Amino acid sequence: MKKIEAVIQPFKLEEVKEALKAIGIDGMTVTEVRGHGRQKGHKEVYRGQEYQVDLLPKVKIEMVVPSARAEEVISALTAAAKTGKIGDGKIFVYDVVDAIRIRNDERGESAL
Amino acid sequence: MKKIEAVIQPFKLEEVKEALKAIGIDGMTVTEVRGHGRQKGHKEVYRGQEYQVDLLPKVKIEMVVPSARAEEVISALTAAAKTGKIGDGKIFVYDVVDAIRIRNDERGESAL
Amino acid sequence: MKKIEAVIQPFKLEEVKEALKAIGIDGMTVTEVRGHGRQKGHKEVYRGQEYQVDLLPKVKIEMVVPSARAEEVISALTAAAKTGKIGDGKIFVYDVVDAIRIRNDERGESAL
Amino acid sequence: MKRILSMLFLSAVLASQVFAQAPAPSPTAALEAGIKSAQSSADNAWMLVSCALVLMMTGPGLALFYGGLVRRKNVLGTMMHSFVLMVIGTVLWALVGYSLAFGEGSPFIGDLRYLFLNGVGGDPNATYAATIPQQTFMLFQMMFAIITPALISGAFAERMKFSAMILFTILWTLVVYYPMAHMVWGNGGLLNAFLGGKVPCLDFAGGTVVHITSGVSALVCAIVMGKRKGYPNEPIKPHSLVLSLIGACLLWVGWFGFNAGSALSSGSLASSAFVATHFAAATAAGGWMLAEWFQHGKPSMLGGISGAVAGLVVITPAAGFVAPMPALLMGFIGGIFCYFMVVKVKAMLGYDDSLDAFGVHGAGGTLGAILTGVFATKDVNAAFKDAAGNALPVGLLEGNGSQVVNQIIGVGLSWVIAGVATFILLKIVDAMVGLRVSPEEETAGLDLSQHGEEGYSLES
Amino acid sequence: MKRILSMLFLSAVLASQVFAQAPAPSPTAALEAGIKSAQSSADNAWMLVSCALVLMMTGPGLALFYGGLVRRKNVLGTMMHSFVLMVIGTVLWALVGYSLAFGEGSPFIGDLRYLFLNGVGGDPNATYAATIPQQTFMLFQMMFAIITPALISGAFAERMKFSAMILFTILWTLVVYYPMAHMVWGNGGLLNAFLGGKVPCLDFAGGTVVHITSGVSALVCAIVMGKRKGYPNEPIKPHSLVLSLIGACLLWVGWFGFNAGSALSSGSLASSAFVATHFAAATAAGGWMLAEWFQHGKPSMLGGISGAVAGLVVITPAAGFVAPMPALLMGFIGGIFCYFMVVKVKAMLGYDDSLDAFGVHGAGGTLGAILTGVFATKDVNAAFKDAAGNALPVGLLEGNGSQVVNQIIGVGLSWVIAGVATFILLKIVDAMVGLRVSPEEETAGLDLSQHGEEGYSLES
Amino acid sequence: MKRILSMLFLSAVLASQVFAQAPAPSPTAALEAGIKSAQSSADNAWMLVSCALVLMMTGPGLALFYGGLVRRKNVLGTMMHSFVLMVIGTVLWALVGYSLAFGEGSPFIGDLRYLFLNGVGGDPNATYAATIPQQTFMLFQMMFAIITPALISGAFAERMKFSAMILFTILWTLVVYYPMAHMVWGNGGLLNAFLGGKVPCLDFAGGTVVHITSGVSALVCAIVMGKRKGYPNEPIKPHSLVLSLIGACLLWVGWFGFNAGSALSSGSLASSAFVATHFAAATAAGGWMLAEWFQHGKPSMLGGISGAVAGLVVITPAAGFVAPMPALLMGFIGGIFCYFMVVKVKAMLGYDDSLDAFGVHGAGGTLGAILTGVFATKDVNAAFKDAAGNALPVGLLEGNGSQVVNQIIGVGLSWVIAGVATFILLKIVDAMVGLRVSPEEETAGLDLSQHGEEGYSLES
Ligand SMILES: Nc1ncnc2c1ncn2[C@@H]1O[C@H](COP(=O)(O)OP(=O)(O)O)[C@@H](O)[C@H]1O
Ligand SMILES: Nc1ncnc2c1ncn2[C@@H]1O[C@H](COP(=O)(O)OP(=O)(O)O)[C@@H](O)[C@H]1O
Ligand SMILES: Nc1ncnc2c1ncn2[C@@H]1O[C@H](COP(=O)(O)OP(=O)(O)O)[C@@H](O)[C@H]1O
């Protein structure tokens, strides 16, 4: 099994979710994160005091999928999340040793 | 070392924490996440506009433990988090290459 | 590629960010988390009802870096995040199978 | 309305010309009319403001105070309890409530002369308030009928079905509030100290009618409905003390309308009640915080605002009868007493009064009603007079011990009526629609399960 | 000012002594002066409070009500729309607005006699309010001129450029509000029912002037500006119904100043308007929630507060003309009608009126203006008199069908003026600075893009 | 109280009958009594409202304004500073404060005649306010004594020990506020322009007494206590500008009670002060936002509300002395001046006045006090009269240059007293309990370290 971890633009979450459902992936966990990278942040001013905000709101999506489906997921995800502009985000892939469904102790891919 | 990553029902957090303390695991990191899976969400209506909310509040618990203790942790965790209903959540296991305790640069299992 | 995952004290975030920029690491994802470990929490009292709060606010920083640079990042990170007091936090290192830049489908280290 | 005014003005002008020629008596009458109008407008100005202030106590005041004390998932459900009473309490009052409370009638309940506010217009009802339009008096009293049942909601917060809450509230208002209001304030009411009650019980602004009834009913609700899931093992923390602070401050400010407005005029009695109200709130907040400081080493914001509300409750029945210094003292005692009730007694007895509606309103109201009989003084309010019209002693400290007895009778009666009626009504409602939400709904929270919406959506 | 007072006091004393000796007529005059002063102080007390209450409706009231309904990233930008009007509306009013609205002049617009508030001082302007300083009257009317354009902002929330909003607001106030205010309330205004208007249209507190103008303009804004990015596909949820509840409650409380204050005195007419206002708000909130209950099985907090505002809108033109029971009914009808407009009609027509400024203010204002012609009664307000000074029937139910016609004419005129003018002004502003923020700015939110700040920074 | 009223009514009736027969003089006296009562009720209505409004400025107004500007972890600790003063300020005032401020006595401090409010009852104190109960006057002035020290807290927010804050506040109130209040407003006070002060300094509602004293003390606090950890390198952002906006709007609305209430009556002077207050707030908000717009290309919500408060501060001493147009101007100047002080000067000098209590209140109060001497006019307030009772010129523009000198003397004296006393008091308190929390506590936040609670618990 592989874990697909994608950091995307918040306003792309809906589209990505749809795209994943479309290919039958509906197990996912979403986290509000802040990201820093090439995309430059913005300036905020409070009573004359300027703050350069370089951590921008992003959304992290984690899916554990059978290794066989990884590429398919990645391309669906990339397609849906892409705007072509800096800040689109990244996808990282990790190996997963095991998965357990708490409800019924199922293990491995059948637990996904 | 292994990383045990569990996504559970928020209202189970207390019980799970107790269960883990009971077996001597007290290093953990908790994150508020939203999850999507088999469990169907709920409907919200604002001035007649209906929204199907399919990302539900979950809590993610991450623990890095010595490989030897992984199974023990998993079963304690599963036992405490289980309600038997859809939505109980998942546990994922990953390999950890190394661990460092920032305070004193200790490394490896002794850093946990 | 390696993923460096650090859980640090929130008030150290700025310093750590600077330290990482200093060595040319500017791709990172930050998450607000709560942590439990050796550091003992605090007591809160509401109308006489006492709560022992043992999950303390922490910040998690994730960076995927070329394996070659892992050590360098770790030491910079450790140096910046260290106060020497319990609660400084941990760093965990994981293997990364692949990385994709959504914007242009670049893969591997060049995507970081 | 502009024409009306200009005409009023014209007639005034004409009048004044008339006077010039007219014979002696005539002008006097005209002048008296003018004075009466000015006096009425002055008192009405303050009373309309008081009406607005007391409504502000319920919404947003109480809604925020209670809403901040519950968990995030129940904030709307809790605020809704206050808000929906601004609807229900108003409609009931307009249709039958005012009449049942303030119509003549038996010592226990009013008659139906004011059904649908029939005959309640711009002229004063001299029995109750000789200088303001009866509509203003009706409005002011309505605001009390709205907030009282809302206070109870603190006891069953985070677990009661919305439909059950509405049903219970309607019945409670009819069966408990209207009769109590009539007994204490209605013409010929059993406990009315000014309009021929058998047992003259002093209650300036609602220690018995408002706080004891709601507080005691709250206790019964807490016991009958049982504890919230996870209480007291799992942490159930206020989700926003900031909201509660806003609410508490608005309650404090609004209470000036509640108590000083109960003078039903803007003369010096209103000022005196205003002073007593503010002083008690301040010392009670201080008392509660000091108690915490001694017990836990830290005074808290929650303690401060809880104390302030407790002090306002304690002074409510006494506001128009006591001098400033006794008010300071009553507040201080009240703050410490309610702290003790909420923090120690509740823990001992182990019932789950979610937001301490009993510990603050029931306990504080009882204490206040009794202390009123102790500290009331004729220097502030010559409540009782002898045949010759000389002011008689009012409170215990002035030598009128019997007053304390009368106060205790009033308190006892309120306890019994509120307690018994609430128990029966809860059983009825439970039989009809069920009191509690399902465990799943309770876990999900009232906002989603009862109203299909969320209090906050902070995701960016 | 203390000297002034003590002198006033002295003179009073002296006067009284004088009276002792002086001949008959003299004292009378002095007494009348005293009565006039007391009456004026009484009415002024209520009117100053009303001014404060109506300002409170805009800030924080409306700012919170609207601010809570938008997404987190637009909360400041949305509140700013209300706040900046407390600046713009004030300055415009002081310089030219009061004069254009209330100066004598044509049936359509006032003249410049009060330019820079020239001659607007402590003496009453008997034409409009004979018992209060003209400055108070000016203040009170100014608060209306502030909130009206702020109401429109609900329609273009989350997407309008701040510079464009300011420009549009200034022009709209000059071109739509001042003329409408003059026509309905100004001396000699075309629709003024009391000061020689050709078409006597009854509008007690602004059904046409405030709500129809803002509501209809809102509709035009929504259509001209187009939908928000992602609407209606992506979820666009209120980020904090808690803020909206606070705002709605403050609107409710403030509305007592708005409507009862429109009596321009604190007599029984103010009380009557207060009753009508509160009753309609309550039943409208109830009506909206019941509609939801039937349709979705759950009444919501958002529904309750939306209904309350709708009821307040509907009763605004009628507040000083209708009896309590009709007010209850008007509110109920209004709550259900606006629910239908917001939930069904908007969905059908598919325009994006972000916060339903049209569905509530446009629709509710229109309904209220017409129903005023139906339920107005001489028992509450003898608006029309015959030569002999006998009150004539006012509303349809009293047999004066023509009034409904007049109301409809007033409504129609308001619709046309607001609709046409708004459309033209938007085109002008668009040409000058552009109406909408860029897609990137819209995605980032107005707070960052227009004001360079964030509403909340909750990271610990 | 109901009996009282009905009796009052009865007597009125009887009286009127009497008049019918009685000889000339008798009725006149009775009528004058009636007029006096009506006038008093009218003024008292407005003053009671003003008392409520000014308390609302502190809680929730200032608590929210300041609370929103700090970091999440300090929100309760910051709001507590305002809240606890509603306790401390009240108790001190009741025991000794009113007497020290308004008792006769030396030019510098009052005597103890009103100790424990002895003799402060329903009758007016003609020296200060001839038409309202002295209790009302006492209440109104108390609200000022509560908010003034609360304003200082903006300077030491996020780092002061709670115990130290309480100790300092008590001492400061005794040593700085009561004397200053006596000097400017007390009978025989050194600077009292109306009651025999040597240096007649005009301060209508507290430019010197309230704003300069608190603002200058704030500066000293900021310097003595040192910077917050991480300031100015780490970002220290307001955690909720939404709360600050609510607070600022409530301050704005409450300020009508503060300034217009300082007329101590509801006549035309109150209206005039109301106008000046609102106008200055509006143009100052506009001025500050424009300054931002020029400097950063974006006007901000924080700028708008900061400007509004600055304008309210600037107009405070002038409210009852200046005409509307000068008020517009004063506000605009004030908004830009305070922007400059907060944004430029503070940065230059580098002290850490956390919430700019000095930049707004100290700077604004100083500017306002001086401009009062420039724009004050006899047309609004005939402050000075010659023997023949003819109004003399008041401000510089009317040709009374000496007034500016007097204003400057008053300003200077306030600066010195506040500055010196605050420095000494801080040293004393530091020696007794220590001023600052530990670095660990500062990192954890005041909410947890000082009060053992959290502002928000938003985890679902
Ligand atoms: N090396 C990295 N490790 C972890 N997260 C990263 C890394 N690089 C980028 N990110 C995440 O991806 C987001 C987008 O990256 P950025 O460089 O700004 O745009 P792009 O991916 O288009 O080059 C960042 O905000 C950050 O959250
Ligand atoms: N394949 C997956 N990858 C990541 N997270 C998942 C995956 N499947 C489920 N989850 C997480 O587990 C939660 C519970 O899963 P769900 O299917 O709803 O119930 P159950 O685990 O009982 O079948 C989801 O809300 C989601 O957060
Ligand atoms: N085994 C672990 N797995 C995951 N997170 C951990 C683990 N141990 C510690 N942490 C995280 O690191 C934080 C600091 O750890 P703690 O033991 O309190 O201090 P120290 O690292 O100085 O010993 C914890 O709050 C928790 O978030």
What secondary structure does DSSP assign to B47-83, as a single string?
A: TTEEEEE--EEEEEEEEEE-GGGHHHHHHHHHHHH--
Supply the pLDDT for residue F192: 96
CB burial of residue B106 (10 Å; 0-12, 13-18, 19+)? middle
Residues of A with CB under 8 A from a CB of B: 3, 17, 26-31, 64, 94-105, 111-112
What whole-number distance in Å separates Cα of residue D304 and Cα of residue D288? 6
Task: Count H helices and E strands in chain F, helices first.
Answer: 19, 0
Q: Do residues B78 and A102 make contact, with C-beta atoms less than 8 angstroms apart?
A: yes
**Quick one: pLDDT band at residue E25, thresholds 50, 70, 90?**
low
Average pLDDT (E293-316) is 97
Higher pLDDT residue, F15 or B64?
A: B64
Q: Which residues of D touch B (CB under 8 A)?
A: 230, 233-235, 443-444, 448, 452-454
pLDDT at F22: 42
Give the distance from residue A75's alpha carbon to the nearest chain F alpha carbon, in angstroms.
Answer: 34
**Percent of chain E having pLDDT more than 90?**
92
The CA C103 to ligand 1 mean position distance, Å, reads: 10
Nearest beta carbon to residue C94 from set A38, A83, A94: A94
Using alpha carbons, select from D108, D168, D153, D156 the residue that is nearest to residue D422.
D168
What is the amino acid identity at position D216? V
pLDDT in tens, E119-171: 999 999 999 999 999 999 999 999 999 999 999 999 999 999 999 999 999 99
The CA–CA distances, whole Å, from E92 to E77, E133, E145, E179, F309 equal 22, 21, 9, 14, 20
b or e along E324-357 (b: 16 or more beta carbons within 10 Å of the residue's beta carbon)?
Answer: bbbbbbbbbbbbbbbbbbbbeebeeeebbbbbbb
Read off the pLDDT of each residue in E373-400 and give the average, rounded to a whole number: 96
DSSP-derived secondary structure for F195-215:
TT-SS-B--SS-IIIIIIHHH
Which atom of ligand 2 is the closest one to the Cα of B39? 18
Check residue A35 and give its pLDDT: 96
Going by pLDDT thresholds of 50, 70 and 90, the confidence category of residue D368 is: very high
Which residues of B fall within a CB distance of 8 Å from D444? Answer: 42
E136 contacts on F by Cβ (under 8 Å): 271, 274
Mean pLDDT computed over every residue of chain C: 95
Say if residue E20's pLDDT is above 90: no
Minimum-distance ligand 1 atom for the alpha carbon of A86: 22
Which of the residues E244, E296, E344 would you substitute to probe the B interface, choosing the one with the greatest number of B C-beta atoms within 10 Å? E296
ipTM for this model? 0.96
Nearest ligand to the C-alpha of residue A86? 1
Identify from C63, C102, C106 which residue to disrupt to test chain A contact, counting A C-beta atoms within 10 A and taking the largest count. C102
On the question of pLDDT at D359 being above 60, the answer is yes
Token pair, residue D321, equals: 């009868």
> B33 and C33 in contact (C-beta within 8 Å)?
no
Pocket of ligand 2, candidates A4, A23, A29: which has the most ligand atoms within 8 Å of its Cβ, to mutate?
A29
Query: Can the peptide bond before residue F439 be classed as cis, meaning omega within 30 degrees of 0?
Result: no
Whether pLDDT at E11 is above 80 = no
- What is the average pLDDT across D274-289? 98
Distance CA D153, CA D357 (A): 8
Q: pLDDT digits over F39-77, tens only?
A: 999 999 999 999 999 999 999 999 999 999 999 999 999
3-state per-residue secondary structure call for chain A: CEEEEEEECHHHHHHHHHHHHHCCCCCEEEEEEEEECCCCCEEEEECCEEEEECCEEEEEEEEEECHHHHHHHHHHHHHHHCCCCCCCEEEEEEECCEEEECCCCCEHHHHC
At residue D27, the pLDDT reads 79
The β-bridge partners of C94 are C3
Nearest to A19 by CA among C102, B42, B56, B40: C102
Give residue A40's pLDDT. Answer: 87
Atom 7 of ligand 2, residue of closest alpha carbon? A27
Using the predicted structure, report yes or no on whether residue F2 has a pLDDT greater than 60.
Answer: no
Burial degree of E314 (CB within 10 A; 0-12, 13-18, 19+): buried
User: F133 and chain D: CB distance < 8 Å anywhere?
Assistant: yes
Q: Is F40 in Cβ contact with D35 (below 8 Å)?
A: no
C88 CB near ligand 3 (under 6 Å): yes
Q: Which residues touch E13 (CB under 8 Å, ≥6 apart)?
A: none
Rounded distance between C-alpha atoms, residue D312 and residue D333, angstroms: 12
pLDDT, tens only, D33-56: 999 999 999 999 999 999 999 999
Chain C and chain E share a number of CB contacts under 8 A equal to 5
Q: Is it the case that residue F435 has pLDDT exceeding 60?
A: yes
Q: Label residue A19 by pLDDT band (50, 70, 90).
A: very high
How far apart CA E204 and CA E201 sit, in angstroms, is 10
Residue E98 CB contacts under 8 Å (≥ 6 apart), including other chains: E114, E117, E120, E138, E141, E142
Q: Specify the residue with its C-alpha closest to ligand 3, atom 8.
A: B27
Q: Which residue of E has its CA nearest to F187?
A: E2
d(CA F150, CA F211): 11
Q: What is the pLDDT of residues E180-238, one digit of tens each?
A: 999 999 999 999 999 999 999 999 999 999 999 999 999 999 999 999 999 988 889 99
Nearest-angstrom CA–CA distance, E86 and F331: 14
Average pLDDT over every residue of D430-448: 97
Nearest atom within ligand 3 for CA of residue C56: 25
Q: For residue F235, what pLDDT is reported?
A: 82
Two tokens, residue F452: 């053992």
Q: Which of C36, C42, C83, C93 to mutate to test the pocket of ligand 3 (most atoms within 8 A of CB)?
A: C36
pLDDT (mean) for F371-389? 96
Q: Which among D48, D265, D437 is the top mutation candidate for probing chain E, defined by the most E β-carbons within 10 Å of its own β-carbon?
A: D48
pLDDT at E22: 42
Of F249, F257, F262, the CB nearest to E1: F262
Q: Which residues contact F134 (CB under 8 A, 6 or more apart)?
A: F120, F121, F122, F123, F124, F125, F128
For residues E373 and E385, give the distance between their C-alpha atoms in angstroms, rounded to a whole number. 16
In SS3 terms, E279-333 reads as: HHHHHHHHHHHHHHHHHHCCCCHHHHHHHHHHHHHHHCCCCCCCCHHHHHHHHHH
User: According to the model, what pLDDT value does residue A59 have?
Assistant: 97
Across the interface, whether the CB atoms of A102 and B95 are under 8 A apart is answered no
Per-residue 3-state assignment (H helix, E strand, C coil) for D9-71? HHHHHHHHHHHHHCCCHHHHHHHHHHHHHHHHHHHHHHHHHHHHHHHHHHHHHHHHHHHHHCC
Which residue among A7, A54, A83, A91 has the greatest number of ligand 1 atoms within 8 angstroms of its CB, and so is best to mutate?
A7
3 state SS of E5: helix
pLDDT at E235: 82
| Structural tokens at position F131 | 């038409």
CA D394, chain centre distance (Å): 23
Cis peptide before F107, with omega less than 30 degrees from 0? no
State chain F's mean pLDDT as an integer: 94
- In DSSP terms, E434 is beta-bridged to none
List residues near ligand 2 (CB under 6 A). Answer: A 27-29, 62-64, 101, 103, 112; B 7, 35-39, 56, 58, 86-90
- Alpha carbon distance D444, D74 (integer Å): 9
> Could you give the 3-state DSSP secondary structure of residue D188?
coil
Closest ligand 3 atom number to CA of residue C38 = 17
**Angle of the D162-172 helix axis to the D402-433 helix axis, nearest 10:** 140
Bridge partners (DSSP) listed for residue C36: B28
User: Which residues of chain B register pLDDT less than 70?
Assistant: none
Both tokens assigned to D137: 């008096």
Interatomic CA distance for residues E412 and E373, integer angstroms: 14
Distance in angstroms (rounded) separating the CA atoms of residues F368 and F357: 15
Quick one: closest CA in E to C12, which residue?
Answer: E460
The nearest CA of chain F is from the CA of A16 a distance in Å of 25
Looking at chain F, the whole-number percentage of residues with pLDDT higher than 90 is 92
| Residue that wins the pLDDT comparison between F135 and E15 | F135
D103-107, E253-257, F314-318: the lowest-pLDDT one: D103-107
- Quick one: C110 exposed, middle or buried, by C-beta within 10 A (0-12, 13-18, 19+)? exposed
Any idea which ligand is nearest the CA of B105?
A: 3
pLDDT tens, residue by residue, F319-331 = 999 999 999 999 9
Q: What confidence category does residue E459 fall into, taking pLDDT thresholds of 50, 70 and 90?
A: confident
User: CA E362 to CA B78: how far, in whole Å?
Assistant: 57
Q: What's the token pair of residue C27?
A: 């791709």
- Interchain contact F310–D (C-beta under 8 A): no
Chains that touch D (3 or more CB pairs under 8 A): A, B, C, E, F
3-state secondary structure D350-361: CCCCCCCHHHHH
Task: Compare CB distances from E302 to B46, B51, B53 and report the shortest one's residue.
Answer: B46
Q: For residues E5 and D333, give the distance between their C-alpha atoms in angstroms, rounded to a whole number.
A: 40
Q: In chain F, which residue's Cα lies nearest the Cα of B12?
A: F460
Q: Enter the pTM of the model.
A: 0.96
To the nearest whole Å, the CA of D73 is away from the closest chain A CA by 19
> Which whole-number Å values give the CA distances from E431 to E167, E176, E372, F293, in the listed order?
12, 20, 40, 22
How far apart, in whole angstroms, are the C-alpha atoms of residue E330 and residue A58? 49
Kindly determine whether residue B96 and residue C94, on different chains, have CB atoms separated by under 8 Å.
yes
Q: How confident is the model at residue E379 (pLDDT cuts 50, 70, 90)?
A: very high
Please state, in angstroms and rounded to a whole number, the distance separating the CA atoms of residues F25 and E31: 13
Say yes or no to pLDDT of F437 above 60.
Answer: yes
Q: How confident is the model at residue E15 (pLDDT cuts 50, 70, 90)?
A: very low
Nearest to E453 among A11, A14, A44 (CB): A44
pLDDT higher than 70, residue F103: yes
- Chosen from E2, E65, E266 to mutate, greatest number of chain F CBs within 10 A: E2
Mean pLDDT of E382-410: 96
Asked whether the beta carbons of residue C102 and residue A88 sit closer than 8 angstroms, the reply is yes
The answer to whether the Cα torsion of F224, F225, F230, F232 is positive or negative is negative
Q: D19 and E25 in contact by Cβ < 8 A?
A: yes
Rounded to the nearest angstrom, the gap between the alpha carbon of residue D365 and the centroid of all alpha carbons in its chain is 10
Q: Read off the pLDDT of residues A40-77 as tens digits, 9 standing for 90 and up.
A: 889 999 998 889 999 999 999 999 999 999 999 999 99
Beta carbons of F455 and D298 less than 8 Å apart:
no
Task: Check: CB of residue B39 under 8 Å from CB of residue B56.
Answer: yes
Structural element, H or E, at residue C100 = strand C98-101
Any atom of ligand 1 within 6 Å of the Cβ of A34: no
**Pocket flag, ligand 3, residue C89 (CB < 6 Å):** yes
Q: How confident is the model at residue E27 (pLDDT cuts 50, 70, 90)?
A: confident
pLDDT-derived band of residue D25, with 50, 70 and 90 as boundaries? low
Quick check: D11 pLDDT over 50?
no
Q: Do E155 and E162 touch, CB atoms closer than 8 A?
A: no
Segment F388-434, tens digit of pLDDT: 999 999 999 999 999 999 999 999 999 999 999 999 999 999 999 99
Supply the pLDDT for residue F233. 84
Taking the centre of ligand 1 as the mean of its atom positions, its distance from the CA of residue C99, in whole angstroms, is 11
Does ligand 3 come within 6 angstroms of the Cβ of B20? no
CA of C35 relative to ligand 3 center, distance in Å: 6
